Structure 1
Amino acid sequence: MRVHVIGCSGSFAGPDGAASSYLIEQEDAQGRLWRVLMDLGSGAFGPLQSVIDPAELDAVVVSHLHPDHYLDLTGLEVFWAYHERDDLGRLPIFAPAPLPERIAAVLGRNGDIPDGVGCAPFEHHALTDHDRFTIGPLDFETRRVLHPVEAYGFRITGGGSTLVYSGDTDACDALDELARGADLFLCEAGYIEGRDDRFTGVHLTGRRAGESAAGAGVRHLALTHIPAWTDPEIPLAEARAVHSGPITVVRPMDILEVHP
């Protein structure tokens, strides 16, 4: 399994990169390469096009409906609805149930069919807690995590390896259960200890991400969702203080290999 970091800036697009978006690639037994996009936050649709032709996407999975995780779906919808190709079909989107209404509200329309188009370009699937679904060779398991809105973390298996993506969350049992034994734990660290103690139930710190990784016995912790106003060395140091395994801070256009 391979993960392309399209965007990883926390809470909003930063000066050096877009908000959250990660492209997962996995070959099936017949050698066909499947591509699933995890989140498509503000500013991410542009750099996505430098990595792949978006028409090659097999599905999109959205962790929650804050703009830094879904807003550029509006651009992907335009691409999919009005593309010169007429064989794209409907792109599966797995997301919290209100997504179609949110996209319609952003674009100022009623319903999920773009103007001048005969059918909806997206096929919406509503996520639930403890959901399980399969996209090609990738198996997904969801858990609802701790965030101010309906939000999910994901355990993704394929090719004998396991990737866990936290989405946005504060420390919670559901996240620890998802992360257990993961080969790669792509985990947000949007806050830092001390500075952000007045906020609860929103984001992890580097320390809390490290504690989750240590307790879950993950092989590799990759910190993400660090906002532009935070020096990434701070959450990295926090995580290293409590977790002895390999830790990296992801950056835009990084490629992460997930090895079993």
Structure 2
Amino acid sequence: MRVVVLGGLGAWPSAEQACAGFLVEHQGFRLLVDPGYATVQPLLTRLPASAVDAVYVSHGHPDHCADLQPLLRARVLPDRSAPALPVYAPSGSLDPLLAIDESGLIDTAYRLHGFTPGDNFGVGPFTVRTWSLPHWVPNAGARFTAGGTVLAYTGDTGPSPMLVELARDADLLIADATYVDEIPDRHVGFLSSAAEVGRYATAARSRAVLLTHLWPGTDPDAAVAAARRAYSGSVDVARSGLLVDLPA
């Protein structure tokens, strides 16, 4: 399994970095996870829009899904006969995004599979197990398993005992680390810190950690150091262009 980082910022993109988004490849199948703001351009530098096999969206905030819309345009407008792209997302979460275009323009470009966080299903070679994690809107953390390899992804989340279960023995945990350590009162319970990620990654025995959704302007070295206070495994920050090859 290979993970290609398209971006790793939360809230809004910078001039150099897209919001959180990941291309997960296994046995030739390409799963796009959370196509947030500015992720479609780095995606299209690697492959054509038609080569994406499926999309998984953790929740409906635009920094996790906005670039699904230009991706769908890039698939269907040049070729009206292109096959529909399977899109998996919490039920209703993408309705506002998919309604912004004129009626009928991209309707044939996708096949929407709505689910309730907590559901389990298959996507290509991946077995997907989801958890409902605390955020302002329904957010589905997910565990993607293929060929004995496990990728765990939190989406955006506050503290939850479910995070240890999600991350248990994962080969890679991609975790919300919006803040380094202290979380502002307005975000307590709905977002996480790098320090928190280190603690639950240790409890879960995750083999490696990738910190994502950093608030723009956050020092990535400080985030890594905060996670390492409680976690002794490999820690890195999600940056555009980073490649992570996971063991089979």
Query: When the two structures are superposed, what TM-score results if normalisation uses the length of structure 2?
Result: 0.94
| Number of aligned residue pairs | 248
Of stretches 128-137 and 40-49 in structure 1, the one that deviates more from structure 2 is 128-137
1:65-90 C-alpha deviation (Å, 9 max, x unpaired)? 11100011110121122123x54211
User: Does structure 2 retain, via aligned residues, the 8 Å contact 1:14–1:227?
Assistant: no
1:78-106 C-alpha deviation (Å, 9 max, x unpaired)? 1122123x542111000122245212443
Which consecutive unaligned segments of at least 5 residues does structure 1 have? Answer: 28-32
Of stretches 222-231 and 208-217 in structure 1, the one that deviates more from structure 2 is 222-231
Q: Percent identity?
A: 33
Which consecutive unaligned segments of at least 5 residues does structure 2 have? Answer: none
- Residue 46 (structure 1) aligned with residue 41 (structure 2): yes
SS of equivalent residue, structure 1 residue 51: coil
- Deviation of the 1:197 alpha carbon: 4.7
- Residue 142 (structure 1) aligned with residue 120 (structure 2): no
- Deviation of the 1:120 alpha carbon: 2.4
Partner of 1:24: 24
Distance 1:66 1:5 in 2: 19
Partner of 2:83: 89
- Residue 169 (structure 1) aligned with residue 184 (structure 2): no
Distance 2:209 2:8 in 1: 15
- Residue 249 (structure 1) aligned with residue 246 (structure 2): no
Structure 1 or 2: larger strand share? 2
Distance 2:185 2:236 in 1: 24
Distance 1:179 1:134 in 2: 19
User: Does structure 2 retain, via aligned residues, the 8 Å contact 1:214–1:243?
Assistant: yes
Distance 1:222 1:161 in 2: 16
Q: Which amino acid aligns with 1:181?
A: D
Distance 2:245 2:98 in 1: 36
Query: Aligned Cα RMSD in Å?
Result: 1.6
- Residue 5 (structure 1) aligned with residue 8 (structure 2): no
Distance 2:98 2:49 in 1: 21
Query: Aligned runs of 1:215-234 on 2, under 5 Å?
Result: 215-234=203-222
User: Does structure 1 retain, via aligned residues, the 8 Å contact 2:118–2:130?
Assistant: yes
Distance 1:90 1:198 in 2: 40
Q: Which amino acid aligns with 1:74?
A: Q
Distance 2:183 2:125 in 1: 42
Distance 2:182 2:150 in 1: 33
Distance 1:214 1:197 in 2: 26
Query: When the two structures are superposed, what TM-score results if normalisation uses the length of structure 1?
Result: 0.90
13, 30, 33: which one aligns with 1:35: 30
Partner of 1:30: none
